[in-house]
Amino acid sequence: MTEKPYCTCCGRFITGGGLRVYATLICRSCEARIARLKVDDPDYTYWLRVIHSLWDRWEQKINEPPQPTT
């Protein structure tokens, strides 16, 4: 069974591509929202937490020991 790609930020299934960074995928809608985010936006704190969470995941992925290849 093939796993459907979903957005790490909003949880929606992605049908038309998105931004992939390490093991995470961000849909075009969330990517666009993050790109136009301003400090005085009411949802700024929410998106800041989302970005911090993504950063933590990416950092963990970078620091994982390499998987042995056969």
pLDDT at position 45: 95
Does the pTM exceed 0.75? no
Residues 6+ apart with CB under 8 A from 23: 57, 61
In sequence order, the 6+-apart residues with CB closer than 8 A to the CB of 16 are: 28
- In the chain, how many H helices and how many E strands? 2, 2
Is 1 within the bounds of a domain? no
- Predicted pLDDT of residue 47: 93
Residue 58 covered by a domain: yes
Domain carrying residue 43 = 18-63
The tally of domains found in the chain comes to 1
Tell me whether residue 39 is in a domain: yes
Q: In this structure, what are the phi and psi dihedrals at residue 59, rounded to the nearest 5 degrees?
A: -65, -40
Tell me the pLDDT tens digit for each residue of 1-53. Answer: 456 789 989 999 998 788 888 778 999 999 999 999 999 999 999 999 998 98
